[in-house]
Amino acid sequence: MLKLQKLTKTYKTGDQALKAVDLDVPSGQVLALIGPSGAGKSTLIRCINRLVEPTSGSVMLGDVDLTKLGAAALRRERRRMGMIFQEYALVERLTVMENVLSGRLGYVGFWRSLTRRYPQSDVDEAFRLLDRVGLVHMADKRADELSGGQRQRVGICRALIQNPALLLVDEPTASLDPKTSRQIMRLICELCAERGLAAIINIHDVALAQMFVQRVIGLRFGEIVYDGSPNGLTPDK
Ligand code: ADP
Ligand code: ADP
């Protein structure tokens, strides 16, 4: 479903963050991307939806090469990729419900919609998602009233309401305590299984990856140094 071919990123500073990375992700597969700080994990995730522009190589989503798209086509394809961030990236002064709905409409469309009514079907879907993650009673609370774990649940709902084919998840638990981290990882992996969603989860906590995913990609100095079962990992990898 997703295929990276010789994906390379060299930043203007000369940092070679990715060196000709090849990676195949079948539909429905959840994989964890691990590796030390600076290995290129974040760059890899961001090159897929072109928040970072790859230097060379291709990113095939189905039979579309995302690296070749113009702005309008890229916006369309990005709707098929949900993103979940380390720092949640919620709009603090909007409610939980509004934050979830912003995923449905896109940011610009969302602000336009404030002057209109939201389609009832979107509101219904937002309630269903919030119910699934245990936050339906918080729908009218402002985002800045939530705990970190609750915020990340909202971030998950906002990504899922796009009905994406692929989730890009960048350090979802880096700002959370260990217990909440496990809950959030479990939730992401369960939701992917329920929806047949593929996901790439950038996570520096190897133990968490081992608990929840079947395939781990180890990245080091911009190259894949491990691809396989989490059980095959040694502590220094
Ligand atoms: P992390 O290791 O958690 O991904 P960093 O602290 O390395 O985060 O980077 C924080 C931000 O700074 C990111 O947006 C990253 O892209 C950017 N960044 C990291 N390294 C450099 C660098 N050498 N020059 C410019 N920006 C950088
Ligand atoms: P990770 O997510 O594994 O910590 P990153 O993808 O953030 O790794 O970084 C990979 C390499 O690219 C590092 O050497 C980092 O300093 C560099 N880098 C990341 N972002 C930038 C940036 N915006 N500008 C320049 N160098 C960057």
Span from the CA of 172 to the centroid of ligand 1 (angstroms): 16
> Quick check: 200 and 45 in contact, CB under 8 A?
yes
pLDDT in tens, 186-236: 999 999 999 999 999 999 889 999 999 999 999 999 999 999 998 887 655
**pTM confidence score:** 0.87
Q: Which ligand 1 atom minimizes the distance to the CA of 15?
A: 23
Show the DSSP H helices in 106-205 as ranges. Answer: 107-113, 120-132, 148-160, 178-195
> Quick check: 31 and 200 in contact, CB under 8 A?
yes
> How crowded is the C-beta side of 54, counted as CA atoms within 13 Å?
27
Query: How many whole angstroms separate alpha carbon 129 and alpha carbon 120?
Result: 14
pLDDT in tens, 109-119: 556 556 556 78
Question: Which of 19, 43, 46, when mutated, tests ligand 2's pocket best, judged by the most ligand atoms within 8 Å of its CB?
Answer: 43
Read off the amino acid at residue 127: F
- State the angle between helix axes of 148-160 and 120-132 in degrees (0 to 180), rounded to the nearest 10: 140
Query: How many whole angstroms separate alpha carbon 192 and alpha carbon 24?
Result: 18
Residue-wise DSSP of 46-114: HHHTTSS--SEEEEEETTEEGGG--HHHHHHHHTTEEEE-TT----TTSBHHHHHHHHHH-HHHHHHHT
CB of 15 sitting under 6 A from ligand 1: yes
Query: How many whole angstroms separate alpha carbon 67 and alpha carbon 140?
Result: 39
- Report the mean per-residue pLDDT for the chain: 91
Q: b/e string for 212-226 if b means 16 or more Cβ within 10 A? A: bbeebbbbeebebeb
Query: How many whole angstroms separate alpha carbon 46 and alpha carbon 169?
Result: 10
Span from the CA of 15 to the centroid of ligand 2 (angstroms): 7
Ligand lying nearest the CA atom of residue 40: 2
Ligand 2 surroundings by CB, under 6 angstroms: 11, 13, 15, 17, 35, 37-43
Query: How many whole angstroms separate alpha carbon 80 and alpha carbon 82?
Result: 7
Question: How many C-beta atoms lie closer than 10 Å to residue 66's C-beta?
Answer: 22
> Quick check: 141 and 173 in contact, CB under 8 A?
no
User: Does residue 237 carry a pLDDT above 50?
Assistant: no
Task: State whether ipTM is beyond 0.90.
Answer: no
